[in-house]
Amino acid sequence: MSQLVLDDQLDVVKVLPGLRRWASAIRLQDLRPGEHILDDRVPEILLTCHEPTFVTIDSDFWKPKLCHAGYCIVYAEIDFRSQQEIPKLLWQLFRHARFRSHAQRMGKVIRLTQVGVSYWESGATTLQHALFGPSAKKRRRHT
């Protein structure tokens, strides 16, 4: 089973309630209790998990050199105070045709925004982009 691994910078009070409806998640710190985890150790720790998707708001993880077939990194490019939006954005990401399965997400470093994603992929040399589709709007009857 794959897992969401939440960066310690995330406010779990804002993020976890929305995720618990449809996903399971663990804090990075829970993978190494009692340790102070520096950013450069995160990839090594992710490789000890099965198909993890690491979620962060730290732009330091938005680097193509961090691509690895053993994990996915999602950098949510949002304001620190808007973290409660992360579950909705992840839901949109995981419903997108390019990112539905764990296999499709592995090897990518993704920048997630309200309108779509940009991503680096292991073995690729160019930055890729994907937009989220327009939200379904209810049709109004005109009488």
Angle 137-138-140 (CA atoms, 0-180°, nearest 5)?
125
Q: How far apart are CA 3 and CA 112, in angstroms?
A: 18
- Which pLDDT band, with edges at 50, 70 and 90, does 135 fall under? very low
pLDDT at residue 14 tops 60: yes
Average pLDDT value over all residues in the chain: 90
Nearest Cα to Cα of residue 23 among 112, 93, 80 = 93
The per-residue pLDDT for 136 is: 34
Q: How does DSSP classify residue 65? A: G
Which pLDDT tens digit goes with each residue over 51-101?
999 999 999 999 999 999 999 999 999 998 999 999 999 999 999 999 999
- Which pLDDT band, with edges at 50, 70 and 90, does 2 fall under? low
Task: Count the residues in the chain.
Answer: 143
Long-range contacts made by residues 62-65, C-beta under 8 angstroms, separation at least 24? 62/109, 62/111, 63/109, 63/120, 64/109, 64/120, 64/127
pLDDT at residue 103 tops 50: yes
Distance set, CA 94 to CA 11, 35, 36, 44, 49 (Å)? 21, 31, 30, 24, 19
pTM of the predicted model, to two decimals? 0.89
- The sign of the CA dihedral 50, 53, 58, 63 is positive
Q: How far apart are CA 7 and CA 5, in angstroms?
A: 7
- Which pLDDT band, with edges at 50, 70 and 90, does 134 fall under? low
pLDDT at residue 50 tops 50: yes
Please name the helix (run of DSSP H) or strand (run of DSSP E) that holds residue 17, with its range, or none.
helix 12-19
What is the separation of C-alpha 118 from the centre of its chain, rounded to a whole number of angstroms? 12
